[in-house]
Structure 1
Amino acid sequence: MNDVVLTGDRPTGPLHLGHYFGSLANRVKLQDEHPMYVLVADYQVITDRDLPGEIQRNITGLLLDYLAVGIDPDKATIFQHSAIPELNQLLVPFLSLVSVAELGRNPTVKDEIAHSSQQAVSGLMFTYPVHQAADILFCKGTLVPVGKDQLPHVEVTRLVARRFNERYGEVFPLPEAMMGERPLLRGLDGGKMSKSRGNAIALSAGEAETAALIRKARTDADRLITYDETRRPEVANLLTLAGLCLGREPRDLAEEIGYGGAAALKSLVTEAVNDFLRPIRARRAELTESDARRILAEGNERAREQAIKTLQEVRTAMGF
């Protein structure tokens, strides 16, 4: 049986270079190798916040970013969480398979609760891993590209699938986590790269905006540029970013810059990033919001057909 890939993003703002090198580039490769579902996880926006924000604008922007980097709607099914009611109905039987204690021990949920902007933890946040299990299993997903922090969620999905199969009969495959091989990109301030922290370069950012963000990036006072992740993490991060954009080793770039200092480093990074993003920006400029809406509608239709089929299998297996 051919593996099925499930991946996606929450529409909370524009995608950035961290997303590209962390997951988007791999998705473009995977869509040529496996059937792939790409989830616009709009319902999951309210897991850790009270309001979804500018949700429609963010969904459109997400679609345009996907298309600009090369995700092909003829190869990948791009769909919207809230448009697939049958997918979300799977949450009810799945919740019956997981104990409250097991949900409470999930380390990723603990961390997300600690960093939540909500005044009180919602039931949706607490059951987030089971909701993700529904996302993965509705399409019989077998490969789930994740970062290390998402591994516990995949384990919950495997637990749900295994218990359902044991209790009601074989319906679901056991998905496997697919870990990325790219180096971690930090934000331009040295912290975790995040849309909300303003320390990331959006794929949709213009050349002048990109240059301004890189000028503000943290470095240090040493004029000799070296690649040292431990002692000089901010400098190493900029070298890594340039290396990813140029397809070169960060240490080689550091040797070329030598005593040029932070100014030469930032100049190199700016040129590398703008050159890299230029074709992505050009493709994005050719797309319209109506293109995004049409592609999402078509993907929703395909995803819903699959969700209806899976939900019927679940009902039949359970005796409903």
Structure 2
Amino acid sequence: MASIRTYDWMSLPENESQLQSLFLKGVRHPAMKMADNAMKMKRSPNQVFILLVGLSGAGKSSTVNYLFETDAAITSESKSETISTIEYTVKLKSDEWKIPDLKLSIIDTPGFCDTEGLLQDAKNMLSIKQFLQSHPCIKNSYPNLVMIVLNIQDNRIEGESSNFAKMLKGISHVNAIDTHNPNVVVVLTHASSIARNPKRWEEKVEMKKAQVQAIVQVHLGINPEIVVQENQPEDNDLEREGDWYLLPNGDKQPKILYKACERILNRAKDEIGHEAVAICFRPGMNKRVEKGLIVESSAVRLKDATELYAILLQTIVLASTSEVGRMLESHKK
């Protein structure tokens, strides 16, 4: 029986049935094991997904454009299209694993807490849920990464009724967060604005990280990776070192964001996710971007949006004696 050798090129199998069929035919290839592992941990076996969410004005689209050196998450879309959940796909080739058509999709979403009000925010969140339920390659799976983007100077994160807390409540209801293999990285943008003195900058950054971690833990039940990023490094005169820009404490960006993603993917043993992100991150690559599935927020049923709207208004009461409660209380003083 003829078989594909490990050094032949092969596309990733799309589902368990296709994987079993290949195995019964005598096919043996690293891509098969990678796909099998992905399905076991509820990830897509043949495509990598990064869900991008954030408060309005946080710079989420420019963060991904900068990280991957591509205009995948278009920043100049019309107003009508930005109130949709939109997929942008980059087609990649893995020379190491001999996969000719590895795909990475960025799921770009409307900014939370825009001028349209909380009911519109609920519709936007449900458009994400509908996207995850209807996309054939991620249905019944989690995104490989969920990037939550937040302006480090944004004061809309403090307090249980803050817009950040409401956004996290919404995210917790769209079935995107894997609490067993956490897939969340929080990106604090506009890092240069918080302070110029390196010592003071680092103190403020660590304080903000602790605050964000406590709030995320309350609403998503995980401890996320948290990194800082300057969206406009040249405008803020950040020093360069090779391919990197140096933050006030000497950290190299966007390397630190890539490393945070790498840690998440490695902990989950997500080989497909790791390979796609590593390839897409390499500078100088020709990344051709195609638009994929679009789910408009206007398609969300009003009844469903109203139910989520009520949930977003609810307040979680924490005992001040709990660890998280104490952390949150300390930031109010």
Whether TM-score is above 0.5 comes out as: no
TM-score, normalising length: structure 2: 0.31
Which structure shows the higher helix fraction?
Answer: 1
Which structure shows the higher strand fraction?
Answer: 2
TM-score, normalising length: structure 1: 0.32
